[in-house]
């Protein structure tokens, strides 16, 4: 009837409907803080070093040194999305690289299938080994319920021991020139092809995780494990698959390290482990799981690589690098915590207003 009050939504509630969920709001804030920090660091580097840093040769060097670290950090970030961690990524990379080096330096295989064939066999074997090691981590975590931290700590020592047994603690050198050349080739003489390949991996994996059932299951499990188990999703298979992908990414990183150094042994890349965790957190991936954007790992790697390169140009102490990186991490976490509290308060206020608005309208209707 015309005398009855029509149901209307208050302006606040209407605006609230357009808002993204709390998780995505926090992700957007983390991304904003990250890119603001990148911009600030680049401005400081530009003011201090100018063309000594911003020239094609130096920027190409930054990109050339980033691929293996970027893949390791991506693997670490993917494991953290589910609320876990993969401490074995360096050991997986080393063991996969050792296996590839063994194959490529075996004279009998070179004579049998030639240089191209032995390189292809080494790459397939390394990636397959990484896949198996990742599956092993995921199976142990899912089947026996051992926390990822302990599982991957144990597998890290296991894989490192296997690598030491294969090499006797001595590095394997003398890779085929075609393998080293393919990994160090540059597009237009500046842009490394290895970085282009890594960029493609980031784009495809981050998009797949963002839109697929696999990715949604992984984020849901990281955010609320109990709820994920009651959804009927195949959470266990998702976890195993995520660690398998981590293994393949780490193995690919091992291949890039093998080509860069033209040798491989246990211990290569050990310094990357804690730095990969640092990168994942700086990229906005919540260590507790359920939040983060995987693609943001790549610009974070480039940020830290730029800082390290700038220190080298400025002839600063290597100890200053660790101090700066630690400071960046603390600043980023503090800003994230500050902005998340603001978002939480605003969302809580909006929710209260939405709940109280209908009762307020009902009171007005009764009074009229």
Mean pLDDT of 72-77: 96
Q: Is residue 6 in a domain?
A: no
Q: Is residue 2 in a domain?
A: no
Higher pLDDT, 322 or 221: 221
Query: Residue for token digits 């209407």?
Result: 14
Distances (CA, A) of 213 to 65, 85, 219, 246: 34, 21, 10, 18
Q: Which pLDDT value is given to residue 21? A: 46
Closest CA to 302 of 31, 60, 30, 27: 60
CATH number at residue 279: 1.10.3470
For strand 172-173 and strand 186-187, is the pairing parallel, antiparallel, or unpaired? unpaired
Distances (CA, A) of 201 to 31, 56, 153, 253, 279: 20, 24, 26, 12, 17
Q: Which pLDDT value is given to residue 11? A: 39
Q: Is residue 1 in a domain?
A: no
The number of folded domains in the chain is 1
Give the C-alpha separation, 124 to 109, whole Å: 15
Higher pLDDT, 31 or 99: 99
Q: Is residue 360 in a domain?
A: yes
Domain that holds residue 65: 11-367
CA R_g for the chain: 25
Q: Is residue 39 in a domain?
A: yes
For the chain, the straight-line distance linking the first and the last C-alpha, in angstroms and rounded, comes to: 15
Q: Is residue 98 in a domain?
A: yes
Q: Is residue 93 in a domain?
A: yes
Give the C-alpha separation, 91 to 318, whole Å: 25
Closest CA to 72 of 272, 260, 366: 272
pLDDT in tens, 232-270: 778 889 999 999 999 999 999 999 999 988 889 888 888
Instruction: Give the DSSP H or E segment for 172.
Output: strand 172-173
The chain-wide mean pLDDT, for the chain, equals 84
Q: Which pLDDT value is given to residue 153? A: 96
Q: Which residues pair with 173 in a beta bridge?
A: 263
Q: Is residue 62 in a domain?
A: yes
């Amino acid at each position: 009837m015309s005398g009855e009050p029509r149901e209307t939504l208050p302006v606040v509630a209407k605006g609230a409907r357009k808002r993204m969920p709390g998780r995505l709001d926090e992700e957007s804030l983390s991304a904003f803080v990250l890119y603001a920090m990148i911009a600030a660091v680049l401005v400081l580097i530009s003011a201090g070093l100018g063309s000594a840093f911003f020239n094609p040769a130096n920027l190409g060097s930054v990109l050339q040194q980033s691929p293996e670290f970027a893949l390791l950090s991506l693997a670490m970030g993917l494991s953290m999305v589910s609320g876990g961690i993969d401490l074995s990524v360096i050991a997986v990379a080393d063991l996969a690289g050792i296996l590839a080096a063994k194959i490529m330096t075996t004279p009998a295989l070179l004579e049998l299938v030639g240089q191209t064939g032995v390189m292809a066999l080494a790459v397939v074997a390394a990636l397959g080994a990484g896949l198996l090691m990742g599956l092993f981590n995921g199976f142990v975590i899912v089947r026996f319920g051992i926390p990822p931290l302990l599982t991957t700590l144990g597998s890290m020592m296991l894989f490192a021991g296997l690598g030491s047994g294969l090499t006797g603690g001595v590095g394997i050198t003398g890779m085929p020139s075609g393998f080293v050349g393919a990994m160090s080739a540059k597009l237009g003489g500046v842009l490394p092809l290895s970085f282009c390949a890594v960029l493609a991996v980031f784009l495809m994996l981050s998009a797949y995780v963002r839109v697929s059932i696999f990715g949604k299951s992984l984020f849901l499990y990281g955010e609320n494990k109990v709820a994920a188990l009651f959804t009927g999703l195949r959470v266990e298979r998702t976890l195993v698959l995520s660690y398998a992908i981590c293994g393949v990414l780490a193995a690919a990183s091992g291949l890039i390290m093998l080509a860069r150094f033209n040798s491989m042994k246990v211990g290569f890349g050990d310094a990357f482990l804690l730095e990969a965790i640092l990168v994942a957190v700086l990229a906005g991936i919540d260590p507790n799981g359920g939040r983060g954007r995987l693609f943001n790992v790549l610009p974070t790697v480039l940020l830290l690589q730029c800082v390290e390169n700038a220190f080298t140009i400025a002839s600063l102490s290597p100890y200053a690098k660790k101090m700066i990186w630690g400071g960046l991490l603390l600043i980023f976490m503090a800003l994230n915590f500050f902005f998340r509290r603001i978002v939480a308060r605003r969302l809580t206020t909006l929710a209260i207003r939405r709940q109280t608005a209908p009762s307020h309208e009902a009171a007005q209707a009764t009074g009229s």
